[in-house]
């Protein structure tokens, strides 16, 4: 039995199904749950006020949960490796347990930690839990390289053996005389304002949200109910993806949730194995990106004159979240109709999304831009057809584009077809492009490559 183990928390802000914490409690007399507010990460997340706000909620919730188990969350600020070693020296710890993560930044931190722990004679262990299947578990049989196409990855992933859920942590003790440290307020970390209607972070809310979703499954196409809205909780590890699969097991959405979580793993393994994927096109593109500042502003402000696009972009700013189907339509519009660089769109999403996750964000942007893993890279989503399909009643559009609240569901998808007089009364922008013309231009560019 070890005397004291430090569990370094990162994007695993939970106590349920936390393999590193469960093992530490089994292995040691005292366990110290540590979170280091990493100044390098904060500098980036300062520009992501919604995600930062969610993170602080999640930390406060984790602290309450650990206090209820007889312990606390120990908080420090600075460089995680240095702060961790300072703490292990002060309390004379014998081990460091960490949940493994897939981003290049996290991998680098893990290597540094392993090196420093070795020097300090500390037992260093990495644990699973961030993904369903480890990012280094599945490779193509023929070449041993990472999968770049989803379907063959899915076929292997679905039959890959899964770990059991980690045992429940009921209670444990901290060593004596350890200062807990305070969780900063949002105002101490960023001057930017948070969207008015973002979801609140934390493990307890994650479980409530999942229960609510599973108890109210609706088979209709209503955007408000047709997905779990669990993405920010999964991103910050307030719930494990394996818990989501196991909780949904007897429901009609089990298969769909499992498949969506496979998409999540798919992009995580791509970034873990091909870190350049974050910045570079995975496949070449036969045309140059446009540089239309005004069109980008119209897109990002939800002022394109295409109601479904504008509703999505306005929801993003209000709630820090949009449904996957709307994300696809707005991203296709930016990269295929306006032919603007997916990196601009991904950066804008990063600022506002409460669930912003580098692997899922870049993976999906590259997919829709045709530079990534889509097997049909030249597909272009028709924003009018998509609007009619996704939001036949127009209620979603009306919720976010108030100027159109008086328009009938028949006319709401193509307001430019209204008479000049009716249009003038609406105070809604005229469409910035013609869908037919720009999709034809896109096809011509592709054909002439
Ligand atoms: C342009 C674009 C950018 C995106 N950026 C992000 C991002 O930064 N962070 C993020 O978590 N997701 C991102 N997604 C994926 C997807 O839109 C969200 O995960 C999903 O909308 C979250 O809603 P939900 O939790 O209700 O999903 P559900 O349908 O309930 O799915 C359950 C979980 O599966 C995962 N998931 C579902 N779809 C995908 C997908 N296509 N790719 C990866 N994981 C998926 C999510 O973790 C999600 O919470 C992006 C998609 C697009 C098209």
Query: 89 in helix, strand or coil?
Result: helix
The pick from 324, 345, 352 for probing ligand 1's pocket by mutation, whose C-beta has the most ligand atoms within 8 angstroms, reads: 324
Integer Cα distance of 198 and 371 in angstroms: 31
Is 80 exceeded by the pLDDT of residue 448? no
Ligand 1 centroid to Cα of residue 231, in Å, is: 6
Is 80 exceeded by the pLDDT of residue 225? no
Ligand 1 centroid to Cα of residue 23, in Å, is: 30
Give the strands of the sheet with 123-127, arranged side by side. 74-78, 28-38, 2-9, 95-99, 123-127
Integer Cα distance of 443 and 439 in angstroms: 6
Ligand 1 centroid to Cα of residue 86, in Å, is: 38
Task: State whether the beta carbon of 328 lies less than 6 angstroms from ligand 1.
Answer: yes
Nearest protein CA to atom 38 of ligand 1, as residue? 260
Is 70 exceeded by the pLDDT of residue 61? yes
In this structure, what token pair is assigned to residue 377? Answer: 């890279």
Task: State whether the beta carbon of 228 lies less than 6 angstroms from ligand 1.
Answer: yes
Ligand 1 centroid to Cα of residue 394, in Å, is: 23
Task: State whether the beta carbon of 263 lies less than 6 angstroms from ligand 1.
Answer: yes
The pick from 360, 373, 386 for probing ligand 1's pocket by mutation, whose C-beta has the most ligand atoms within 8 angstroms, reads: 360
CATH code 3.40.50.620 region(s) in the chain = 2-130
Integer Cα distance of 55 and 78 in angstroms: 16
**pLDDT at residue number 40:** 85
361 CA closest ligand 1 atom index = 5
CATH code 1.10.579.10 region(s) in the chain = 293-447
Task: State whether the beta carbon of 356 lies less than 6 angstroms from ligand 1.
Answer: yes
Looking at residue 175, what DSSP letter applies? P
Integer Cα distance of 86 and 64 in angstroms: 25
CATH number at 293-447: 1.10.579.10
Phi-psi region of 377 (alpha: psi -120 to 50; beta: other; left: phi over 0): alpha
Query: How large is the average pLDDT for residues 200-212?
Result: 97
Nearest protein CA to atom 36 of ligand 1, as residue? 260
363 CA closest ligand 1 atom index = 42
212: exposed, middle or buried (Cβ count in 10 Å: 0-12, 13-18, 19+): exposed
Dihedral sign computed on CA atoms, order 205, 210, 212, 218: positive
CATH number at 131-161+205-272: 1.25.40.80
Task: State whether the beta carbon of 442 lies less than 6 angstroms from ligand 1.
Answer: no
**pLDDT at residue number 220:** 58
235 CA closest ligand 1 atom index = 11
Integer Cα distance of 144 and 160 in angstroms: 16
**pLDDT at residue number 292:** 93
CA distances from 364 to 47, 215, 293 (A): 21, 29, 23
Is 70 exceeded by the pLDDT of residue 210? yes
Integer Cα distance of 106 and 99 in angstroms: 10
Per cent of the chain over pLDDT 90 is: 90
Residue 328's CB: how many other CB atoms inside 10 A? 18
261 CA closest ligand 1 atom index = 34
Element (H, E) at 88: helix 80-91
**pLDDT at residue number 79:** 96
Is 90 exceeded by the pLDDT of residue 322? yes
Radius of gyration, alpha carbons of the chain: 24
Nearest protein CA to atom 4 of ligand 1, as residue? 361
Beta strands in 83-225 (DSSP E): 95-99, 123-127
Task: State whether the beta carbon of 395 lies less than 6 angstroms from ligand 1.
Answer: no
**pLDDT at residue number 421:** 85
* Closest CA relative to residue 359, chosen from 271, 281, 275, 279: 271
CATH 3.40.50.620 fits 2-130, yes or no: yes
Integer Cα distance of 351 and 195 in angstroms: 11
CATH code 1.25.40.80 region(s) in the chain = 131-161+205-272
Report residue 287's pLDDT band, with 50, 70 and 90 as the boundaries: confident
Question: What is the average pLDDT score of the chain?
Answer: 95
Query: How large is the average pLDDT for residues 63-77?
Result: 98
């Amino acid at each position: 039995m070890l005397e004291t183990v430090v569990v370094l928390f990162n994007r695993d802000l939970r106590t349920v199904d936390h393999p590193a914490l469960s093992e530490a409690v089994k292995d040691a007399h005292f366990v110290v749950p540590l979170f280091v507010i990493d100044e390098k990460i904060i500098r980036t997340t300062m520009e992501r006020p919604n995600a930062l706000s969610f993170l602080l909620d999640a930390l406060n919730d984790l602290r309450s949960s650990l206090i209820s188990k007889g312990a606390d969350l120990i908080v420090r600020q600075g460089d995680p490796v240095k702060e961790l070693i300072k703490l292990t020296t002060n309390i004379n710890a014998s081990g460091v347990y960490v949940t493994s993560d897939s981003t290049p930044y996290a991998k680098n931190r893990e290597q540094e930690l392993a090196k420093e722990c070795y020097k300090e004679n500390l037992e260093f262990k990495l644990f699973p839990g961030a993904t369903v299947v480890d990012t280094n578990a599945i490779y193509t049989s023929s070449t041993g390289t990472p999968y770049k196409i989803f379907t063959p990855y899915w076929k292997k992933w679905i039959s890959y053996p899964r770990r059991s859920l980690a045992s429940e942590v009921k209670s444990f003790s901290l060593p004596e005389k350890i200062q807990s440290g305070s969780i900063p307020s949002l105002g101490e970390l960023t001057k930017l304002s948070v969207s008015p209607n973002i979801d609140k972070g934390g493990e307890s809310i994650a479980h409530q949200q999942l229960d609510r979703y599973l108890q109210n499954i609706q088979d209709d196409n209503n955007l408000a109910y047709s997905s779990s809205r669990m993405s920010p909780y999964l991103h910050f590890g307030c719930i494990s993806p394996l818990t989501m699969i196991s909780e949904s097991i007897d429901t009609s959405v089990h298969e769909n949730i499992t498949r969506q979580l496979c998409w999540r793993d798919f992009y995580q393994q791509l970034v873990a194995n091909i870190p350049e994927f974050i910045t570079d096109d995975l496949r070449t593109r036969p045309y140059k990106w446009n540089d239309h500042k005004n069109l980008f502003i119209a897109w990002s402000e939800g002022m394109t004159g295409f109601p479904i696009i504008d509703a999505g972009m306005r929801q993003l700013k209000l709630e820090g979240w949009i449904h996957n189907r709307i994300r696809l339509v707005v991203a296709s519009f930016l990269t295929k109709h306006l032919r603007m660089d997916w990196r601009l769109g991904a950066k804008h999403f990063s600022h506002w999304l409460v669930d912003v996750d580098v692997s899922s964000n870049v993976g999906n942007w590259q997919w829709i831009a045709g530079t990534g893993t889509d097997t049909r890279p030249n597909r272009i989503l028709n924003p009018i057809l998509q609007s009619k399909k996704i939001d036949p009643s127009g209620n979603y559009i009306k919720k976010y584009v108030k100027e159109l609240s008086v328009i009938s569901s028949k006319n709401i998808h193509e307001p430019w077809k209204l008479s000049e007089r009716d249009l003038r009364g609406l105070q809604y922008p005229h469409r910035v492009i013609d869908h037919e013309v720009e999709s034809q231009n896109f096809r011509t560019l592709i054909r002439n490559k």
